[in-house]
Structure formats: structure tokens, C-alpha cells
Structure 1
Amino acid sequence: MSAWKEKLRRLVTVEPVIFLYMTGTFIVTPAYQQMIITKVCQELLKNDTICTNPEHHKDDEEVQATASYILLLFSATLSLISIPPAIMLGSWSDRAGRRWVMALPSMLCLLSGGLLLAIDLLENLSVYWTLMAAALAGLTGGHVSIFLSSFSYLADLTVGSSSSRTLRMAVAESMIFVGGTTGFLLGGFLEQEYGLKAAFGAYISCHVLAVLYIALWLRDPATGKIARIAPCKEDTDEQGSNTEESRMFILKYAKLSFKAVFKKRSGQDRLKLHFLIVCTFINNLVAVGDQSILLLYLMYEPREFTTALYGVFNSVRMLLLGFGLLGLFPLLMRCMKETTVAKLSALFRAASYILLAFSSNTWMVFLVAVVGTPSGINQAVIRSLSSAIVGADEQGAMFSFSASVEATCILISATIFNGLYPLTLPTFPGMPFIIMAVFMLIVFILLQWISEMPVTHPRLVLSD
């Protein structure tokens, strides 16, 4: 029984953590967006009857523009506060263990969810209290800390097996979209039947389950323990004495993260790693921008989506993205190189955004989900290639740097897309999605460049 349990522990690892965190995230995202829109409407129009029904105010440009700027502030707060922990926690997890880095974001999200619930319950609380909820969620790095610790964990678990690592990371990446499907379906149902309070309650429950799972089920991989017990000499020198002042804590681990990314490597591996990190940044820039304005865009004429229909669309979209990683990707890997599959994925994602920009009715919007089915594949390949370049004792440091880049993109994306959307609203509301498509073409160009670089690291070679 013990051997069976240990085998299951190696098979089912970080996937439920990512699933629960992303389910909670996709439950709460439309919920807090809708709450912000409603609160803004109440402050501007002073009419509860109109503001409690989105159908009555969804075409009001002043409400749309003000809500968009509040959402920009929310994203900026989340981004700026999450950058220091994102830089620090990866290098720290190389020595202290991956599990506690995974647990910290969920612990703070419990407080954030409680505050959002209080804002919804107390009508006299200003909409700006949502910024405090964003700050709480960002104190431990938010979703980027979940990703850096989870993918570092998988890199520890799959040392020496490139193809296994790519597929395991694809499965873990798919949990983002499976969680998205579950979150949007559950969130849409709860909001429609029971209101925003039930959605915030479900969000809190997801994080309670995540903390319990990490504490009771996960164990740090043996390879990760070895790396932490016997770190390389220069890292040991960097750590200094045990009496080092706590104020140097962030600087020490930030330096380790930068060293892992910028150190000299054989051939063109360092340049390749830098390109992969740029691709990660662009992918997340687009993903954050997508979620920041999609609800506003789809509720605006002529699409005029309801909150329930928005939830259904996102559920279908996430389900197809998950299928792309779990079903389509393994089949494509049998006949194509992983970089080729990643390039195709970037092109399909660009095409889906162009279609979304010109969508004028419901069936066109749902066709966007079909066209974008392979869109999630390129980021899974990028994570695998990045982890294959660095050493076993640098996984957390490398993913920590990538995570800090992802955290900065929250602010940059919100500035670009939440700032641009109100400006293009009177003329061409779909313009932000055209810009997203251009960004994905840049990812395609970078992946093409990477694929033409000579292979100098044996773990980057896939066995056919």
C-alpha cells in the first residue's frame, strides 16, 4: 500500500494545486470585475435599480470608461506588490523547498477573498477597497509564485528526461485551462443563482482545499532535496553567514535569480534563455490584457453578452485550450518538433484575436474559442525549454526571474489595454485585440529564431 501511495505521489503532484488556484482565480475574476462595474455605476448614477442589473447600464460609456480605469488600478496594485516576492521566492525554494512557496499565495488569497466578500456585503464601502484586496493577493506573488514553484517542482521530478518533462509541464499547463473551465462554469452559475457572495465564498473554499492538499499530500522531490543539501560553491558563498541581516534577504535571492538567467552558458544557450523569457513575458502580457477587457468588450454593443453567457464562453474556451494541451499536443509531438508545434500555436492564437476583434455576434465569438484551441501549447513548450537550459540547482531561480517578469506584465498589460480600450470604444472597440495578435506574431518570430539556433545542450533534444 505504501509503494502504491508513493507511486501515486509521483504521478499526481502539482496539478491539483494549479487546478484549485486557477479555479478560484477564474471564479473571482469576473465576480470582482462585475462588483467594480456595479459599484462604479452606483457612485456615478446613484440609482440602485439600474445598477443592480447590468442590462440597464452596460452601454453607458462613462461607466465603462471609469470601471476600466479602476480595473487598471487593481491590476497595477497586484503587479507592483507581487514583483519583490516573485523575484525572491524561486531562489529561496531551491534551498527551502517548493511546497511552502506554493502554499503562501493561497494563504494570502484567503484574506483577499474575505475582504472582497465584505466589500460586497457592505454597500457603504467604496470601490477603492478592492485595491486592498489586490494588495493582499500580491504580497506573496500571486499566481506567478504558484507557477514558479509548480514548474520548478516538475523540473526537479523529471531531471534527465526532456520528453517526459515537456509532457508533464503540458499536463500542468492544461490545469490552468481545466481550472478556467470549472471556474467560469461554477462562477457563472453561482453569480446567476446566488449572487456575488456565493462566488467569493467558492473562491475562499478553493484556497482552503489547496493549502490542505499541499500540507497533507505533496512531498518535495528527492532531486530538489539533493540540490538544496549540496548547492554549488558560489551560491553557498552568496548566502553568507547565518547572522546576515533580514533586510538583505530579498537582495540575496534576487541576485541568485539574476545570476541564473545572465550567467555565461555554452554556445547560444544564454541568448536562447533570454528569448524564451521574452516569449513568456509577451504571452502573459496578452493573457492579462485579454482577461482585463474581455468582459467589458463582450457586454458592449453589438455583442451584448450577459454575465451568464460570458461565463459559458469562457468555459468553452478554457475547455478547448485544455483539450489542446491534453489531447492535441501529444499527437502533434509524434510528427513534429516541439518548437514547430509552439510556432503553430502562436499563429492560431494570433488568428483567434483577429477574429475576436471583428466579432459582431454570438456565433463569431464562440468561433474564436475553436480557432484558439492550440493557443496554450506554446507556453508549455517555452517552460520546458527554459528549464532544460539551467541546472538542477537553478530551476527555482530561473522560474523566479520569469515569474517576476510575469508580475511586471500585469501592470504593463493593464496600462496598455485598460488604457487603450476606453479611447477606442467610440471608433473600433476591437483594436486592443488586434494589438494582441501583433504581439503573438512577435512570439512566432522569436520561436523561429530559437529553432534555428544550434543545439548545444543535450536536454533540449527530443527523442522521436
Structure 2
Amino acid sequence: MSAWKEKLRRVVTVEPVIFFYMTSTFIVTPAYQQMIITKVCQALLKNETLCSNPKHHKGDEEIQTTASYILLLFNATLSLVSIPPAIMLGSWSDRAGRRWVMAFPSLLSLLSGGLLLAVSLLGNISVYWTLLAAALTGLTGGHVSIFLSSFSYLADLTMGSSSSRTLRMAVAESMIFVGGTVGFLLGGFLQQEFGLKAAFAAYIGCHVLALLYIALWLRDPSTGRNTCIAEQCSPEDQSRLNILKYAKLSFKAVFKRRSGQERLKLHFLILCTFINNLVAVGDQSILLLYLMYEPREFTTALFGVFNSVRMLLLGFGLLGLFPVLMRCIKEMTLAKLSAVFRIASYVLLAFSNNTWMVFLVAVVGAPAGISQAVIRSLSSAIVGPDEQGAMFSFSASVEATCILIASTIFNGLYPLTLTTVPGMPYIIMAVFMLIVLILLQWISEMPATHPRLVLSD
């Protein structure tokens, strides 16, 4: 029984952690967005009855514009606070273990969820208290810390097997979308039937489950942990690595010289990760406002259904479609095809003016998640076993900046084009994905990955 349990522990690892965290994220994202819109309405119109029903004010341009700018501040706070921990925690996890880094975001998310619940329950409290909730979530890196620790864990577990690593990372990546499916369905139902407070309570519950799973089930793999990097092997450094040295290790793992064009390839892959995340954050930051605006006029419940269908199809693309296609198509070719489908989905969304066209976006974009799973796997293959956390930490810190940059671009652009071309932000997203496609083609034309070799500076 013990041997069976240990074998199962190698099969089921970080996937539930990502699932719980992303479920909570997709429950809370539309909930706090709706709460911000409602509180902005109450501040502007001074009519609680009118503002309690989104149907009565969803076409008001002043409410849309003000809410968009507050969401920009929320995302900017989350991003700025997330960057320092994200860049340090990966190198620390190379020594202390991955589980501690996985647990930190859920611990502070409990406090953030409690604050959002309080703002929801207290009608006279200012909407700007939500910014403190964003800061609490960001203090441990938020979702980027979950990703860097989880994918570093899988890199440790699959060291020496590139095909296995790609598939394992695809399964882990699919948990983002499976969590999105459950989160949006559950969140939409809870908001419609029980109100925002129920959604925030479910958010807190997901983080409790994540912490219990990490504490009771997950074990750190022995590979790739507690090893020294280059000159960091002196007794003094082993006994005490300060914060700046952890940050330095992340930069060193990314910028050190490597054989052939491996360093340039790694930089391009991280740039692809940045753009992918930039577009994903931008998409979610304005999607609720965009779909509620005329002529689409989605309700909160319909918004939840659309996002659930979209996430379900993205998850199917990674769990069902990707493993089958890998048998006959190279992974880099699949990554490029994935980018093409994502471009098409954003163009279609930009010009969607009714419900069926919006839902067609979910079908067209089903393979869109494949590219990032391939990018993570290729990035991991370039660095050594003692650099996984450091590399993913740098990548995660780059992703953290996306929250601020995406909000600045898309939440700032959306009000400006609202009365002329409301879908313009999605055209810009398609252009960004075209850049990713060009970079992937460039990477595919570089020489194949060599055995890891670090050259002296």
C-alpha cells in the first residue's frame, strides 16, 4: 500500500494545486470586477436599487470608464507588489523546496479574500479598499509563484525525459483551464443565486483546500534541490543567502553564456511567455466590461457560461487534442498552429456583435493553450537541474509585470475606443500574438537544443 501511494504521488503532483488556485482566481475575478462596477455606480448615481441590477446601468459610459480605470489601479497594485517576490522565490525554492513557495500565495489569499468579503458586506466602505486586497495577493507573487514552483517541480520530476516533460507540463497547464471552467461556472452560479459574498467565501474555501493538499499529500522531489550554483557553493553562501543573492541567481540563470544559440533561444522563449501572458491578462481585464456593453449585453450568468465553455475547450485542447497530435506533429509546429488559432479567435471576438459569435470564439480558440505548454517545456530543457527554479522565477517575474502593462494598455485603451471601435483592444491582442508566431518560427529555425553546457564568462 505504501509503494502504491508513493507511485501515485509521482503521478498526481502539482496539478491539484494549480487547479485549486486557478479555480479560486476565476471565481474571484468576475466577482471583484462586478463589485467594483456596482460600487462605482453607487458612488456616481447614489441609487442602490438601480445599481444592484447590472441590466439598469451596463450601458452607462461614465460607469464603464470609471470602473475600467479602477480595475487598472487594482491590476497595477497586484503587478507591482508581485514582481519582487516572483524574482526571488524560484531561486529560494531550488534550495528550500517547492512546497513552501506553493503554499505562500494561498496563505495571503485567505486574508485578501476576507477583505473582499468585508468590502462586499459593508455597503458604505470605499471601493478603493479592494486595492489593499490586491496588494495582499501580490505579496507572495500570486499566480506566478504557483506557476514557477509547480513547473519547477515537474522539471525536477521529469529530468532527462523531454517528451514526458512536455506532456506533464501540458497536463499541468490544462489545470489552468479546467480550474477556469469550474471557477467561472461556480462563480457565476454563486453570484446569481447567493450574491458576491458567496463567491468570495468559495474563493477562501479553495485556498484552504490547496493548503491542506500541499501539507498532507505533496512531497518535494529529491532531484534538483539544495544544490549549489557556480561560485555560490562557499560555506558562507550555503549558510546564509540573502534576498539580493536569490534575485541575482535568477538573473544569472537567464543571462549566463550557453552553447550555440541556447541563451538567445531562452530569451526568445521568455519573451513569448511575456506576450502570451500580456494578452491573457488583458483579455480577462476588459472581457466582462466588453461583453456587458451593447450590442452583446451579456448577463453575469451568461458571462460565466461563456468563460466556462471557453476554458473547458482550452483544457480539452491540452488534455485531449495535444497528446494525440504529438504522435504525428512536432511540438514546435503545434505551438505555431496554436498561435494562429489564438489570433483568429481574438479577431473574431473583436467583431462579435451577438451571442453565437462570442461562443464561436471559444471553439476557434480551443487549441490556444498548447503554445505556452511547449514554451515552458523548451525553456526548462535549456537550463540545468539546479537552475529550474531560478529560470522559472525570472520568467514569473516577467509575467508579473504583464499585469501592470496589460492593464495600462487595455484598460486604458478600452474607454478611448468604446464609442467608436469597442473591439479594438482585441485587434491589438491579435497583433501581439502575431509577434509570438514570428518568434516561434525564428526559434524553430535555430539549431536544436544541445546538451547543457555553460561557458565561462
Alignment of 1:329 onto 2:329: no
Alignment of 1:301-316 (within 5 A): 301-316=294-309
Q: Aligned partners of 1:250, 1:287: CA distance in 2, in Å?
A: 30
Partner of 1:420: 413
Q: Structure 2 vs 1, CA of residues 210 and 268 (structure 1 numbering), >3 Å: closer, same or farther?
A: same
**Contact residue 272 and residue 439 of structure 2 kept, 8 A:** yes
Partner of 1:462: none
Q: Deviations over 1:39-64 (max 9, x none)?
A: 00000000011100000000000000
**Contact residue 299 and residue 306 of structure 1 kept, 8 A:** yes
Q: Aligned partners of 1:257, 1:222: CA distance in 2, in Å?
A: 21
Q: Aligned partners of 2:357, 2:230: CA distance in 1, in Å?
A: 58
Q: Deviations over 1:46-96 (max 9, x none)?
A: 001110000000000000000000000000000000000000000000000
Q: Aligned partners of 2:158, 2:238: CA distance in 1, in Å?
A: 32
Partner of 2:223: 223
Q: Deviations over 1:397-426 (max 9, x none)?
A: 000000000000110000000000000001
Among candidates 263, 287, 294, match of residue 256 of structure 2:
263
So what's the TM-score if we normalise by structure 1? Answer: 0.96
Partner of 2:428: 435
**Contact residue 413 and residue 425 of structure 2 kept, 8 A:** yes
Q: Aligned partners of 1:344, 1:444: CA distance in 2, in Å?
A: 9
Alignment of 1:409 onto 2:402: yes
Q: Deviations over 1:189-243 (max 9, x none)?
A: 1001000000000000000000010011000002134xx1x42442324963746
What SS does the corresponding residue of 2:223 show, helix, strand or coil? helix
Q: Structure 2 vs 1, CA of residues 241 and 376 (structure 1 numbering), >3 Å: closer, same or farther?
A: closer
Q: Aligned partners of 2:334, 2:11: CA distance in 1, in Å?
A: 25
Q: Aligned partners of 1:78, 1:243: CA distance in 2, in Å?
A: 29
Displacement after TM superposition at 1:185 (Å): 0.4
Q: Which amino acid aligns with 1:240?
A: D
Displacement after TM superposition at 1:279 (Å): 0.1
Displacement after TM superposition at 1:141 (Å): 0.1
Q: Aligned partners of 2:240, 2:423: CA distance in 1, in Å?
A: 56
Alignment of 1:134-149 (within 5 A): 134-149=134-149
Among candidates 336, 340, 343, match of residue 347 of structure 1:
340
Among candidates 275, 285, 288, match of residue 278 of structure 2:
285
Alignment of 1:380-399 (within 5 A): 380-399=373-392
**Contact residue 89 and residue 246 of structure 2 kept, 8 A:** yes
Q: Aligned partners of 1:82, 1:161: CA distance in 2, in Å?
A: 32
Q: Which amino acid aligns with 2:377?
A: S
So what's the TM-score if we normalise by structure 2? Answer: 0.98
What SS does the corresponding residue of 2:219 show, helix, strand or coil? coil
Q: Aligned partners of 1:356, 1:233: CA distance in 2, in Å?
A: 49
Runs of 4 or more, structure 1, over 4 Å off, are none
How many pairs does the alignment contain? 452
Q: Structure 2 vs 1, CA of residues 24 and 8 (structure 1 numbering), >3 Å: closer, same or farther?
A: same
What SS does the corresponding residue of 2:224 show, helix, strand or coil? helix
Q: Which amino acid aligns with 1:367?
A: L
Alignment of 1:297 onto 2:311: no
Partner of 2:455: none
Q: Aligned partners of 1:451, 1:238: CA distance in 2, in Å?
A: 42
**Contact residue 382 and residue 449 of structure 2 kept, 8 A:** no
Unaligned segments of structure 1, at least 5 residues: 460-464
What's the RMSD between the two structures over aligned residues?
A: 1.1
Displacement after TM superposition at 1:458 (Å): 4.5
**Contact residue 239 and residue 252 of structure 1 kept, 8 A:** no
Q: Deviations over 1:355-396 (max 9, x none)?
A: 000000000000000000000000000000000000000000
Alignment of 1:76 onto 2:76: yes
Q: Structure 2 vs 1, CA of residues 9 and 442 (structure 1 numbering), >3 Å: closer, same or farther?
A: same
Q: Aligned partners of 1:238, 1:43: CA distance in 2, in Å?
A: 59
Unaligned segments of structure 2, at least 5 residues: 453-457
Q: Deviations over 1:336-371 (max 9, x none)?
A: 111000000001000000000000000000000000
Q: Aligned partners of 1:269, 1:199: CA distance in 2, in Å?
A: 45
Alignment of 1:457 onto 2:454: no
Q: Aligned partners of 1:442, 1:130: CA distance in 2, in Å?
A: 34
Alignment of 1:112 onto 2:109: no
Partner of 1:95: 95
Q: Aligned partners of 1:213, 1:235: CA distance in 2, in Å?
A: 33
Q: Aligned partners of 1:454, 1:239: CA distance in 2, in Å?
A: 40
Partner of 1:444: 437
What SS does the corresponding residue of 2:124 show, helix, strand or coil? coil
Q: Which amino acid aligns with 2:427?
A: I
Q: Aligned partners of 2:267, 2:235: CA distance in 1, in Å?
A: 23
Alignment of 1:7 onto 2:7: yes
